[in-house]
Structures are given as structure tokens and as C-alpha cells.
Amino acid sequence: MRRRTTVSLLLCTALALPGPLAVADEGKPGKVVLPGVPERLDARQKCTAFKGRATSEAPWTRGALGLDQVWALSQGRGVTVAVVGTGVSDAPAVLAGRVKALGDAGEDCVGRGTFQAGLVAGATTPGQGFSGVAPQAQILAVRGTGERGDPDPGRLAAGVREAAQAGARVITVTAPLDGADKAVRDALAVAAKKDALVVVPAAADSVPPGTTAGQAKPAPAAPPGALAVLDTGPQGTRPDTAPGFTRADLTAPGDALVGPGPVGDGKWTGSGASLAAAVAAGTAALVRSYHPELTAPQVRERLLRTAYPGDLPALDPYGAVAGVTAAAAPAAAARPEPVRLGTPPETAGARNTALLVAAGATATVLLVVLLGAVLPRGRARRWRPGRLGPEGPGTPRTP
């Protein structure tokens, strides 16, 4: 039986939240149905001007990731996370005053980059349940696409280089990076020299228009050294229609997420591996703030070693910040064909098995110690019962 992701953990941690959880696009009676943040705009569409919709509900990710617990230790203070994509607007209150932009990246016509930045570092504000993973981190906005979100691999690679040179300690991007591209490898070399961790989506956010997941080519393998993140939903799975991938290191929430848009303080919803990468980048900021002595490769390794085990390791922010690292979690091998997580990994069963094994081992050790003490005494008495007397306990009875 394939292992499932910790749904029980999600449910238990959700009970500690101040208010109901929101899966933004459920459309149930009494729920606020949020608009979907676009990936890109075509030539006929104007820049995103809708202010989203107000909601005070906490997104499902807040409980699933245990954010209230990890914030007692780290909120990302002192760490700058670069978002390389459509740009980032600091108009939403959750980002106000914490966005620095390179060039024209302070304007976000599409809204996708602002949404990603909110997932990374959106502040906690009174009256709403939303917050980014690292609410005290700083954002560096870097242009990595055309103004309307048009894909541009060369510009994306250049954005990674610029972000590293500008001092970002964590860098996340809006689309997969091709590890076979020389410009990408050169950009990762600069990031490595500057000790910046690059977090990338392992898959595209959607398949090209007019194609299905089975027809579309899987995203290329990410370059070595980058942390490739795959998206999962509230149940820890990906749908069969999700875009394919070649290699992934980690999974993180990336479906039905809630975040800010480029205008006003309303909320939007979005899905995709680039959003999961933003969540992982926020977690990396928590780690770099709490463990400033760690290098970028050590942060990457820590995220993997403290993850929940499964078909692919599942991100655990609290474990990454506070946990003791164990053996490295295995990354998925490169695959020529797209693969998908059909069922979520089971971590509760793995922990129970580990506890049973530990208990059995302890009992065995105690039994060996007991026998080591009893057998010599039994032989000395020729297995006759002892008595308590002036000679002391265990003295053989006189026939």
C-alpha cells in the first residue's frame, strides 16, 4: 500500500487555529468564493485591477504547515527572498513597506508575482487569517517574464543572477528552470557563489492551451543545487490532469492557496508548482533566520532531512526550523516521462511502526539484562527457590 501524506496532522493542527479554515474555491454556502489569480494576460486583457474579495478565514495551509507553532521560533526576520516573475506590488497591506524592486519589477500587471510574494512573506494583520509563511521576511522583486507574464527562459535565468548579486538569500521563480540550459547553469553558479538558495517549481502551473497533461511534455529537470518543489493539495495528492515533471525533491502545498493581488487588500486563490515553491522559499527564510550559520546547501539539506517521508518528502516547516536532522530523505530520480503522485504518502503509519520497533528493541535489551542477572543465581541454587534470612536474599535453603 502506498503511503499517504499526514492528513491526520492537518486535521489536528487545524483545531488550534483562531477561526475556520478556508479552501478558497470550494463554493459552499457561506463560503467566500475568491477569484483566481492569472498566470499571464493575453494582448486583449488589461492589467489586473480587481481588488479581490475580503475574507477573514484562515487558509488550509496555516494549519497543515503548523505555522502558528513555528512562528514562536522564527518569522523570517532579516532574510530577503527574491521573487523572480511578473513583478511584485507593495500595494497590499500584507506587503507594504517590505518590497524592494529591481528596475520595473515594482509593477505587477498580472498579479502572479504579488500572489507569490504574499505566500512567502505576507504579514499577519488583525481580523484576517491569512499570512505568508515568513511574515517578517523582506521581498526583492525581480522581473523574470514579459510585462504580461509571457514566458522568457533567458530573462528568468538573468533574474536569478540579478537576485543573487543583489543579496537575496533565498530565490524563487515563477516557472521551471532547465538544468541543461547554459544560461541557467551559469546563473545557479552565481547564486552558489553568493550563498543563495534557489527554489524552483518542478512542474509548470498549467499545461499549454489546447493540450492535455498526457500530451504536454514534462517540465525539464531542474539544475543541480536548486530545490525542485512539486505542488499538492489539501489531501496531499496531485490530480491526474496536473502538468508532468521530470525531477522533484520535495512536495509542498500548492493547490487552492490564498494570497493577495496587486491591487487592494482582497484575496485571490491560485494553484501550481510555482506557488508550492513560494511556500518552500518562505520556509527556507524561516530556517535562514533561525539558523544564520547554515549555508544555502545546508539549508536545502535540512529541508529535505526534516521533511515527512513519502513517495516524495513533504515539507515540514516546524521540523525544518526546530527539528534534529536525521538521514537525508531520498529525492526522486530523474524520469523521462511525467509521473504523478496518485495517493498521498502515509507518515503516521511510518511513525507508529518506528515506535513499535523502538519499543520491541527496548524490551529485548531489558530481557537480556534480566536473564544475565537471574541465570547465574539460579544455577548457584540448582534452581531451588531462595529465602530471606540472616544470610541475605537468595541464600539457598538447607535441605
- 277-286 residue pLDDT tens: 999 999 999 9
* CA–CA distance, 224 with 168 (Å, rounded to integer): 19
- 268 and 363 co-located in one domain: no
User: Of the residues 346, 369, 385, which one is the last residue of a structural domain?
Assistant: 346
Amino acid in the structure at residue 242: A
Q: Is there a contact between 88 and 106 (Cβ–Cβ < 8 Å)?
A: yes
User: For 311-368, what is each residue's pLDDT tens digit?
Assistant: 899 999 999 999 876 544 444 434 433 334 544 444 444 444 444 444 455 555 455 4
Q: Which residue has the cell 491591487?
A: 263
Residue 2 lies in a domain: no
- 370 and 236 co-located in one domain: no
pLDDT of residue 126: 84
Tell me if the pTM is above 0.85: no
* CA–CA distance, 219 with 288 (Å, rounded to integer): 28
More confident residue, 128 or 18: 128
- 227 and 375 co-located in one domain: no
Q: Residue 358: which domain range?
A: 350-396
Amino acid in the structure at residue 184: V
Secondary structure in 3-state letters for 173-218: ECCCCCCCCHHHHHHHHHHHHCCCEEEEECECCCCCCCCCCCCCCC
Residue 264 lies in a domain: yes
- 115 and 32 co-located in one domain: yes
How far CA 27 is from CA of 31, 61, 188, 256, 398, in Å, comes to 6, 18, 42, 12, 87
- 319 and 358 co-located in one domain: no
* CA–CA distance, 130 with 150 (Å, rounded to integer): 29
- 145 and 189 co-located in one domain: yes
User: Of the residues 311, 330, 346, which one is the last residue of a structural domain?
Assistant: 346
Residue 50 lies in a domain: yes
In sequence order, the 6+-apart residues with CB closer than 8 A to the CB of 234 are 10, 23, 60, 64, 253, 255, 256
Looking at residue 96, which CATH number applies to its domain?
3.40.50.200
* CA–CA distance, 140 with 82 (Å, rounded to integer): 4
- 309 and 161 co-located in one domain: yes
Q: How many domains is the chain built from?
A: 2
Name the DSSP class of 305: H
Residue 192 lies in a domain: yes
- 155 and 128 co-located in one domain: yes
Residue 174 lies in a domain: yes
pLDDT of residue 88: 98
Residue 338 lies in a domain: yes
- 316 and 188 co-located in one domain: yes
User: Of the residues 305, 324, 346, which one is the last residue of a structural domain?
Assistant: 346
- Place 373 in a pLDDT band, splitting at 50, 70 and 90: low
Q: Is there a contact between 120 and 136 (Cβ–Cβ < 8 Å)?
A: no
* CA–CA distance, 89 with 263 (Å, rounded to integer): 8
Residue 282 lies in a domain: yes
User: For 207-243, what is each residue's pLDDT tens digit?
Assistant: 988 888 778 899 999 999 999 999 999 999 998 889 9
- 370 and 238 co-located in one domain: no
- 219 and 361 co-located in one domain: no
Residue 1 lies in a domain: no
User: For 143-163, what is each residue's pLDDT tens digit?
Assistant: 999 999 999 999 999 999 999
- 273 and 386 co-located in one domain: no
